[in-house]
Amino acid sequence: REGSILVTGGAGYIGSHAVLALLDSGWRVVVVDNLVTGFDWAVDSRATLVRGAIEDDELVRATMREHDVRAVMHFAGSVVVPESVTDPLKYYRNNTAASRSLIESAVACGVKHFIFSSTAATYGTPEVVPVHEDAPKAPINPYGTSKLMTEMMLRDVAAAHDFNYCALRYFNVAGADPQGRSGQSTAGATHLIKIAVEAATGKRGNVSVFGTDYDTRDGTGVRDYIHVSDLAAAHVDALDLLIVKPEASHTMNCGYGRGYSVLEVLDAVDRVTNMKLDRRMEGRRAGDPAELVADNSRILATLPWRPERDDLDQIVTDALAWERRLSERTDR
Ligand code: UFG
């Protein structure tokens, strides 16, 4: 494990779990995060935290040199889909333009490997589910477009420079570190499992079910929920692959390859808590596809990675445990 890994957005939800996975597998880690949506306490004390913007070339390049950075894992960005519709330029700035600066800094500093947080939102509303990486990329919101544009930059930079990358397209990320070291902490959640565990811990009164007339087994939306610690582990394996085979780049779905409906998720929360959530049946939320499930055959064929926490009740149990810890903290 020579050199260190620069993790942007390492104070955020998924980034902080990747920091743990890297540290636990023996890497040195330096985090660059502006702490706009992240928290300094979310960064494990074994890592170095540099507070700043990824488009601050001077800061990023100094950090790359000082810490002998070997690879970048790029999590920083804006992630709220409806906000991307009302404020698209924020997404093209924080996701696309900031990524452009970061990639340029990596090339300038001779950092040859790059792992990028992409999204199933790059597919838009897929025609075939489970969705394969080669399916048409047709994002239906600026969030998805801003991420797809970054994938395209990476592809072109890898063709032109001594540089390879792995774009990981996340499906629905949920859960929390099973050891209770991190979890989803950002206020104003929109994600189903986060909202459900907030309701289960009394932070909100009820849970809305958006749409009960989809063409799915029970009429509610179906998603492929992946445990955040499994997702973090996939990043560490992807990093190893980029280093061992520097001539190849990859784009891979990150999901378990099967979906759960909204009602199945809420049933799991009821089971785990032994309570009954107050469910409110409502109309569809704009822009939601009926079903989004990953074809994960490529990641299974490419990486040694295997799902270890592919269990909805486990995902809910870990999310709930984190939600309870969060309530105990006064500074959260
Ligand atoms: N849902 C509810 N009630 C809620 C919240 C969500 O019924 O209070 C439903 C949604 O309608 C959907 C499912 O639960 O059917 C999951 O919704 P989330 O908001 O948890 O997640 P999304 O599938 O909308 O979003 C995820 C990622 C995005 C990404 C998107 C498309 O969070 O970053 O998938 O790939 F863009």
Query: Which of 157-166, 184-193, 205-214, 239-248 has the weakest average pLDDT?
Result: 184-193
Ligand 1, closest atom to CA 214?
A: 15
Q: Name the amino acid, one letter, at 168.
A: L
> What is the CA(49)–ligand 1 centre distance, in A?
31
User: In Å, how far are 5, 73, 78, 106, 127 from 65, measured between CA atoms?
Assistant: 12, 16, 27, 10, 45
Residue 332, pLDDT > 80, answer: no
pLDDT of 160: 98
pLDDT of 331: 54
Residue 165, pLDDT > 60, answer: yes
Residue 325, pLDDT > 90, answer: yes
pLDDT of 187: 85
Neighbouring-strand partners of residue 292:
223
The residue whose C-alpha atom lies closest to atom 11 belonging to ligand 1 is: 210
- Is residue 262 within 8 A of residue 220, CB to CB? The reply is yes
> What is the CA(63)–ligand 1 centre distance, in A?
36
Neighbouring-strand partners of residue 28:
4
Q: Name the amino acid, one letter, at 264.
A: E
> What is the CA(233)–ligand 1 centre distance, in A?
23
Digit-coded pLDDT (tens) for 226-239: 999 999 999 999 99
> Which residue intervals of the chain are DSSP H helices?
13-24, 57-66, 81-86, 88-91, 98-108, 142-160, 192-200, 228-244, 262-273, 297-302, 312-328
The residue whose C-alpha atom lies closest to atom 26 belonging to ligand 1 is: 172
pLDDT of 328: 84
Q: Which of 129, 151, 169, 115 is nearest to 295 (CA)?
A: 129
Domain boundaries, the chain: 4-172+227-254, 192-223+257-328
Residues with CB under 6 A from ligand 1: 79, 81, 119-121, 143, 172, 190-192, 195, 207-211, 221, 223, 262, 285, 288, 292
Number of separate helices (H) and strands (E) present in the chain: 11, 14
Digit-coded pLDDT (tens) for 50-69: 999 999 999 999 999 999 99
The residue whose C-alpha atom lies closest to atom 32 belonging to ligand 1 is: 172
Which pLDDT band, with edges at 50, 70 and 90, does 287 fall under?
A: confident
Q: What average pLDDT is seen over the chain?
A: 97
> For 20, left (φ over 0), alpha (ψ -120 to 50), or beta?
alpha
CB atoms under 10 Å from CB of 259, counted, come to 22
Digit-coded pLDDT (tens) for 7-46: 999 999 999 999 999 999 999 999 999 999 999 999 999 9
Q: Which fold has domain 192-223+257-328?
A: UDP-galactose 4-epimerase; domain 1 (3.90.25)
Span 136-151, mean pLDDT?
Answer: 97
> What is the CA(55)–ligand 1 centre distance, in A?
29
Count of alpha carbons within 13 angstroms of residue 269, beta-carbon side: 27
d(CA 35, CA 197): 24
Residue 92, pLDDT > 60, answer: yes
Q: Which fold has domain 4-172+227-254?
A: Rossmann fold (3.40.50)
Span 304-314, mean pLDDT?
Answer: 98
- Tell me the catalytic residues: 143
> What is the CA(42)–ligand 1 centre distance, in A?
24
pLDDT of 188: 83
d(CA 141, CA 138): 9
Question: Among 223, 224, 284, 316, which residue has the most ligand 1 atoms within 8 Å of its CB, making it the best to mutate?
Answer: 223
- Is residue 253 within 8 A of residue 47, CB to CB? The reply is no
pLDDT of 189: 84
Residue 143, pLDDT > 70, answer: yes
Ligand 1, closest atom to CA 289?
A: 15
The residue whose C-alpha atom lies closest to atom 29 belonging to ligand 1 is: 121
d(CA 38, CA 184): 10
The residue whose C-alpha atom lies closest to atom 18 belonging to ligand 1 is: 191
Span 195-224, mean pLDDT?
Answer: 97
pLDDT of 1: 86
Which pLDDT band, with edges at 50, 70 and 90, does 282 fall under?
A: very high
